[in-house]
Amino acid sequence: MFERAPDGTAFALTGPRDGPLVVLIHGLGLTRHLWDPHLPAFRDFRVLAYDLYGHGDSAPTPETASLTVFSNQLAGLLDHIGAQRAHVVGFSIGGMINRRFALDHPGNLDRLVILNSPHDRGEEAQQLVEDRARSVRDQGAFSTFDAALKRWFTPQFLALGDGSNLVRAWREQVDAESYAQAAWVLANGVRELIAPKPPITAPTLVMTCENDSGSTPKHSQDIAAEIDGSLCKIIPTLQHLGLMEDPDAFTSPIVDFLKRT
């Protein structure tokens, strides 16, 4: 079951009504259901999980997509549910959106958790990612899908098929135009997050996986280096969608971080 905000955003609220609010933002081509296996670990929190514009059950993007548009989507959703502040956890493009939110709406943020999210890629890698985004624009949402699966999952997990089938089903739900625009935001939007002025000041945890080739350990270390007092954790062995292979490897350090006073 889900509710719908006035702008067409689909969302679900779970957990105790008096618990601290945690917002969970999924990645490109996924949905809020990415977080379903993680929810039991957040049993002491009020959890807001929602679909980005053009994903899952949400309406298409109401204007040309950008990190600011997605940041404002979250701000509007918090206003809709009557929440003043929240911890915000974001995966991949979600970890770009929550950084933009930290810059645009710092008064609404308690703690920030950035998962498997890109940073300064260098010009060669940046060009490759932008080329993939152009392929999505020209050839559709599945143009890079099969190659991406090998970057996202370990071979052992990929062979089981469950994860790839689920991700495929989520990709089939996207609005084609919204997805193409969001793919460009993932590719190009990272430029505005490098050494922002003023810097992010919220207490922050940055995590990625040892073998995430698109959101590398160096990216996470560089993000953390730009946020005073932040923590950085690298999960061994796993790849980009490691949070699907081993949810506890992520939820345990996240919950521990969010409960610190």
* 25-62: burial string, b at 16+ Cβ within 10 Å, e else: bbbbbbbbbbbeebbeebeebbbbbbbbbbbbbbbbbe
Indicate the domain borders of the chain: 3-259
pLDDT digits (tens, 9 = 90+) for 127-165: 999 999 999 999 988 888 999 999 999 999 999 999 999
In whole angstroms, what separates CA 7 from the centre of its chain? 20
Q: Rounded to an integer, what distance in angstroms lies between the CA atom of residue 30 and that of residue 34? A: 7
Give the pair of three-digit tokens for residue 248: 């506890």
pLDDT of residue 143: 86
Q: Which of 42, 58, 26, 70 is nearest to 167 (CA)?
A: 26
Do 94 and 115 form a contact (C-beta atoms < 8 A)?
yes
Q: Rounded to an integer, what distance in angstroms lies between the CA atom of residue 154 and that of residue 159? A: 9
pLDDT digits (tens, 9 = 90+) for 200-232: 999 999 999 999 999 999 999 999 999 999 999
When the candidates are 3.10.180.10, 3.40.50.2000, 3.30.70.920, 3.40.50.1820, the CATH number that belongs to 3-259 is 3.40.50.1820
Whether cis (ω within 30° of 0) applies to the bond prior to 37 is: no
pLDDT digits (tens, 9 = 90+) for 167-197: 999 999 999 999 999 999 999 999 999 999 9
